[in-house]
Amino acid sequence: MMIENETLLENLNKWFGYQSFRAGQRDSITSVLEGNHTLSVLPTGTGKSLIYQYCGYSLDGLVLVVSPLLSLMDNQVFQLNQSGEKRAAALNSMLSKKERRLVESRIDYYKFLFLSPEMLQSPWLLQKLNTMKIALFVVDEAHCISQWGLDFRPEYLLLGEVREKLGNPLTLALTATAPQLVREEIIHALHLNDRETAIHLSSPNRDNIFYQFLEVDAHEKDSLLVQMMAAYTPPGIIYFSSKKRAEEVCWLLKQATTLRIDTYHADRTSEDRQTIQRQFLNGNLDVICATSAFGMGINKQDIRFVIHYHMPNAIEEYLQEIGRAGRDGEQSIATLLYSQSDAVFKYKMIRETRLTETLVANKYSEVELEAMAFSDSDLAMLQIITAQALSPHSAMQLIEKRIQTRVNNFTAIGKLITRRDCKREGVADYFKYGDTEKPDWCCSSCQVDTAELLLSIKNSYNYSKEEGKSNDNWKEIIKGLFLL
Q: How far is CA 82 from CA 277, 285, 327, in A?
A: 19, 23, 19
Q: Helix (H, G, I), strand (E, B), or coil: what is residue 43?
A: coil
Distance, CA of 183 to CA of 204 (rounded, Å)? 14
Could you give the strand order of the β-sheet that contains 261-264, starting from the edge strand earlier in sequence? 209-215, 332-338, 305-308, 236-239, 287-290, 261-264
Burial of 29 from C-beta contacts in 10 A (0-12 / 13-18 / 19+): buried
Q: What is the DSSP string of 237-293?
A: EEE-S-HHHHHHHHHHHHHH----EEEESTTS-HHHHHHHHHHHHTTS-SEEEE-TT
List the 37-41 sheet strands across, edge first.
Answer: 88-91, 112-115, 62-66, 134-139, 171-175, 37-41, 197-201
Answer for the pair 227, 450: CB distance below 8 angstroms, yes or no: no
Phi first, then psi: give them for residue 372, nearest 5 degrees. Answer: -80, -10
Cα separation values, 245 from 38, 213, 310, 317, Å? 41, 20, 10, 19
Closest CA to 266 of 373, 153, 176, 369: 373
Quick check: helix, strand or coil at residue 156?
helix
Q: What is the SS3 assignment for 178?
A: coil
Are 222 and 195 a contacting pair, CB within 8 Å?
A: no
Number of residues that this document lists for the chain = 484
pLDDT at residue number 378: 82
Residue of 111, 72, 110 whose CA lies nearest to 94:
72
Q: Strand 171-175 to strand 134-139: parallel, antiparallel, or no bridges (unpaired)?
A: parallel
Q: What does pTM read for this prediction?
A: 0.83
| Cα three-residue angle 82-88-94, rounded to 5 degrees | 100
**Cβ within 8 Å of residue 105, ≥6 positions away:** none
From 112, 408, 21, select the one nearest 7 (Cα to Cα): 21
Sign for the CA dihedral angle at 92, 157, 163, 62 comes to: positive
Full set of structural domains in the chain with CATH: 5-201 (3.40.50.300), 209-344+451-482 (3.40.50.300)
**pLDDT for position 65:** 96
Question: Distance (Å, rounded) from C-alpha 400 to C-alpha 310?
Answer: 25
The pLDDT tens digits along the chain (484 residues) read 556 778 899 999 999 999 999 888 999 999 999 999 999 998 877 788 999 999 999 999 999 999 887 777 887 888 898 889 999 999 887 788 888 888 888 999 999 999 988 889 889 999 999 999 999 999 998 988 876 555 677 778 889 999 999 999 999 999 988 888 889 989 999 999 888 899 998 888 999 999 999 999 989 999 999 999 999 999 999 999 999 999 999 999 999 999 999 999 988 987 898 899 889 989 999 999 999 878 766 778 899 999 999 999 999 999 989 999 998 889 999 999 999 888 888 888 888 888 888 878 877 666 676 677 777 778 778 877 877 788 888 889 988 988 898 899 999 999 999 999 999 999 999 988 876 779 999 999 999 899 999 999 988 776 444 444 444 555 554 444 444 3
Give, in order, the Cα–Cα distances in Å from 467 to each of 225, 455, 474.
21, 15, 12
